Amino acid sequence: METVVNRDSKLSELMQIQKVQLATLEELVDFFSKEKLKYFISGGTVLGSNYFKNFIPYDDDIDIAMSRSDFNKFLQLVRNAKFSSQNLKVAHYTINPNFKYTSIRIQNVNLEVVDVSNLSGEVTFPSIDIASIDGSPNNKLKRWIYYKKLLFLRGKLTLAYFDTINLTKKRTTIQKFEIKMFKIIGQFLTLNPVKIKQQIDQTLSHYPMENSTFSGTYMGAYKEKEFIKTSTWGNPKAYEFNNKYYMGPENTDAYISELYGGFTYYEQDEQNNDRHYFLPQEGNIQ
């Protein structure tokens, strides 16, 4: 009986976070529509829409991607105070140099949560990250060199933040070894993370997705594997998600196949590993 109550409590918590994420998505999409900005739901949100017409039941995250041109337009609107909201707070390293990532983060201040990737355990807010979709060289050898350059820059950025890497996150043995090496090497280097992020953006911006055979969100979890056929992104197409419709890749079957190879539903004991947030009193759940 105790286990059932605990599980129900976790479910209620998850639903609270999902509700706030949906409110964030709706407000963002209304603004995108008003400003004629194209966007795609991406990542796990595509999986959720395709298989459940909603969140993957144990997920609390929403992913959005935009072409670099629309990404930059949105960022400029934010800087010019054209995007204003009582509920939403925008983070980007050009706005706040201490922000770690190259994506745009939209935080909803209506709910306090603990981000499992934050080692300090500080209270924060549920957020939606907007990633830029960038192209790549059409020549196979040049594309390989391009990926290696991006990998080098990404490695430098990891070194710049070596002391914030979460080793408790589920990773492969090789990844854990690489991170331990980063932590050792990083102690002896002085790197400017803002300059590295500028270098990453300059490199990625060199190849517009519209002129590229392969394009994707390189700073995502899968690095160069995030580059899929640009024709798979295609023109944004409406998909159902929580009884509303949002724009996603034109060919979701190809998107899922190219990026993930398919979809496997997590077992009960694996589901917490896919969570991004817990309510503060649950912040220590592993």
Q: What would the pLDDT profile of 194-240 be if each residue is shown by its tens digit? A: 999 999 999 999 999 999 999 999 999 999 999 999 999 999 999 99
Q: Which of 39-43, 54-58, 107-111, 181-185 has the lowest mean pLDDT?
A: 181-185
Examine the pLDDT at 98 and tell me if it is beyond 80.
Answer: yes
Average pLDDT over residues 226-255: 98
pLDDT at 273 over 90: no
**What are the φ and ψ backbone dihedral angles of 115, each rounded to 5 degrees?**
-85, 120
Q: What is the pLDDT of residue 168?
A: 54
Helix (H, G, I), strand (E, B) or coil at 274: helix
Instruction: Check whether 6 has a pLDDT greater than 50.
Output: no
Contact in structure between 193 and 157 (CB atoms under 8 Å) = yes
**4-30 average pLDDT score:** 83
pLDDT computed for residue 285 by the predictor: 41
What pLDDT sits at residue 183? 60
Supply the Cα-derived Rg of the chain in whole angstroms: 19
Examine the pLDDT at 266 and tell me if it is beyond 50: yes
CA 90 to CA 106: how far, in whole Å?
A: 5
In this prediction, residues 84-104 reach a mean pLDDT of 96
Instruction: Over range 158-184, report the average pLDDT.
Output: 66
Given a cut of 70, whether residue 23 has pLDDT beyond it is yes
What residues contact 1, with CB distance under 8 A and at least 6 apart?
none
> Is the pLDDT confidence value at 284 over 50?
no
Q: Is the pTM higher than 0.75?
A: yes
Report d(CA 143, CA 206) in Å as an integer.
Answer: 12
DSSP state letter for 266: P
Section 14-35 average pLDDT:
97
Give 114 or 189, the one with higher predicted confidence: 114
Mean pLDDT of 46-58: 96
100 phi and psi angles, rounded to 5 deg: -75, -25
Rounded to an integer, what distance in angstroms lies between the CA atom of residue 235 and that of residue 116? 34
Domains of the chain, each with CATH number or no CATH:
13-134+212-282 (3.30.460)
Q: What's the angle, vertex CA 203, arms to CA 202 and CA 207, rounded to 5?
A: 105
Given pLDDT bands bounded at 50, 70 and 90, which one contains residue 1? very low
Q: How far apart are the first and last CA of the chain?
A: 22
Do residues 185 and 159 touch, judged by C-beta distance below 8 A?
Answer: yes
What pLDDT sits at residue 270? 82
Beta bridge partners of 131: 65
